[in-house]
A and B are shown apart, each in its own frame.
Chain A
Amino acid sequence: MTIEEQLVQKFGANAFEFSQFRDNHRAVVAIDCLLSVLTFLKNDAGFDQLSDITAVDYLDFPDAVDRFGVVYILLNTQTGERLIVKTFVNDPHPEVPSVFSLWRGADWLEREVFDMFGISFKGHPDLRRILMPEEFTAFPLRKDYPLRGRGERHNFPVITRAES
Chain B
Amino acid sequence: MPFTLSELATANSTDKDYLWTLNFGPQHPATHTTLRLILTLDGERVVNAIPDIGFLHSGFEKLSEDLSYNQYVTIVDRMNYISPLANEIAWHHTVEKLMEIELTPRCKYVRTILAELMRLHDHLLNVGTTGLDLGAFTVFLYAFQQRELIYDICEYASGQRFHSSYTRVGGMLYDVNLEWVNKVREFIKQFPKTHAEIHRLLTRNRIFIDRTKGIGVLTKEDAINYSVTGPLARASGVVRDLRKDEPYLAYPDLEFQVVCAKEGDCYARYLVRMQELLESVHIITQAIENIPGGPINVDPDGKAVLPTKTDVYRSIEGLIQHFEIMMPNRGFVPPVEELYAATESPNGELGFYIVSDGKPNAYRARTRPPSFIHFSVFPLMMKGHTLSDVVAVLGSLNIIAAELDR
Q: Which residues of A contact B (CB under 8 A)?
A: 21-22, 24, 26, 48-52, 54, 56-57, 60-62, 71, 73, 77, 80, 82, 84, 103-105, 107-109, 112, 116, 128-135, 140-141, 145, 147
Contacts and interface: CB of A to CB of B under 8 A. Distances in A.
B1 A131 contact: yes
A105 B373 contact: yes
Contacts of A140: 59, 62
B225 A48 contact: yes
Contacts, number: 115
A31 B213 CA distance: 46
B224 A22 contact: no
B311 interface: no
B1 A77 contact: no
A74 B347 CA distance: 19
Nearest to A21: B337
B22 interface: no
Contacts of A26: 338
Contacts of A77: 224, 238, 240
Bin the interface of chain B by size. Answer: 35 or more
Contacts of A132: 1, 54, 57
Interface in B326-348: 336-342
Contacts of A135: 2
Contacts of A112: 372
A135 to B, nearest CB: 8
A48 B224 contact: yes
Contacts of A108: 372-373, 375-376
Given A48-B225, A52-B368, A129-B2, 5 more contacts: A56-B364, A62-B358, A71-B353, A104-B225, A132-B54
B227 A103 contact: yes
B283 interface: no
Contact of B226 (A84, A105, A131): A105
Contacts of B228: 105
Interface centre among B227, B228, B355, B363 (most CB of A within 10 A): B227
A141 B406 CA distance: 13
B62 A128 contact: no
B301 interface: no
Interface string B159-201: 0000000000000000000000000000000000000000000
